[in-house]
Amino acid sequence: MISLDFVSARDYNEANLIDRGADMKENISKEQFIKATYEILSKEGIQALSIRRLGKVMDCNPANIYRYFTGMDELVLYASLQFLRGYLKDVASCFERIQDGLKLHFAVWRCFAESSFERPEIFDNLFFGKYSARLDQIMKEYYQMYPEELDMIGKGKEVIFIDGDFSHRDYLMIEHCVKDRNLSRSDAKLLNSASIHLYKGYLKDILDERAQGVSADATGKTDEFMKCLEEIVFRFVA
């Protein structure tokens, strides 16, 4: 996986080398930059992304990104949120179908594991990367631009999915189990911590395998993760 520090430094140098006298588009919107970056990430991965490549794709002076973003690392975070669309659609279906808090908790975790294990580099950088501390504010701004992506979730529940703190997102879901299964607050916090550490361990394993040229079975990893998660949860919940 390419370090975003390296991408940002390389891109800053490339932006300064570009001929600003060239006949290029100047009226590029923030949303257009996000869309173009997402398309490169989804089709070719982070390795293919550079400020020069982005400028070529958009036929503009790529230094224009600094009108909207602090740099490529921040733009990548915005664009990466578009990978959550399929997950949110699946989660919306879970909320419609499942009433039991514990079953809903498992279903939402499965949706997230399936999506993230398919795109481990994207999700690792998004939630656990060096710049993930910015995610809370970025999410709020992103969903102001794309409110329709949260509309499907339902009124009142969207607060869970605009929280950039990954651990707190999970705790908000566990609260349903606190209400439905008489889970104590102290046990809920322990369960939250155990679940997050389990997930991060699986995600790291997949990233390590990819670094060694091994293509992980995302479905198999999801099933294995969910089995372990359920074992942990049922130690806390009767």
Contacts of 67 by beta carbon, 8 Å cutoff, 6+ apart: none
Residue 207, in any domain of the structure? yes
Residue 140, in any domain of the structure? no
The token pair that represents 117 in the structure block = 């294990």
- How far is the C-alpha of 2 from the C-alpha of 194, rounded, in Å? 29
- How far is the C-alpha of 165 from the C-alpha of 140, rounded, in Å? 12
pLDDT at 201 over 70: yes
Give how far the C-alpha of residue 156 lies from the chain's centroid of Cα atoms, to the nearest Å. Answer: 21
Is residue 43 domain-shared with residue 91, that is, in the same domain? no
- How far is the C-alpha of 46 from the C-alpha of 8, rounded, in Å? 12
Of the two residues 229 and 5, the one the predictor is more confident about is: 229
Q: Per residue in 27-58, pLDDT tens? A: 789 999 999 999 999 999 888 899 989 989 99
Output phi, psi for 25, to 5 deg. Answer: -70, 140
Residue 58, in any domain of the structure? yes
Is residue 47 domain-shared with residue 109, that is, in the same domain? no
pLDDT category at 15 given cuts 50, 70, 90 is very low
Q: Which structural domain range is residue 98 located in?
A: 84-130+154-236
> What is the gyration radius of the CA atoms in the chain, in angstroms?
20
Is residue 88 domain-shared with residue 184, that is, in the same domain? yes
Torsional sign, CA 230, 231, 237, 238: positive
Q: Per residue in 104-148, pLDDT tens? A: 999 999 999 999 999 999 999 999 988 888 899 999 999 999 999
Q: Which of 40, 68, 96 is the last residue of a domain?
A: 68
Is residue 159 domain-shared with residue 94, that is, in the same domain? yes
Nearest Cα to 102, choosing from 205, 234, 226, 235?
234
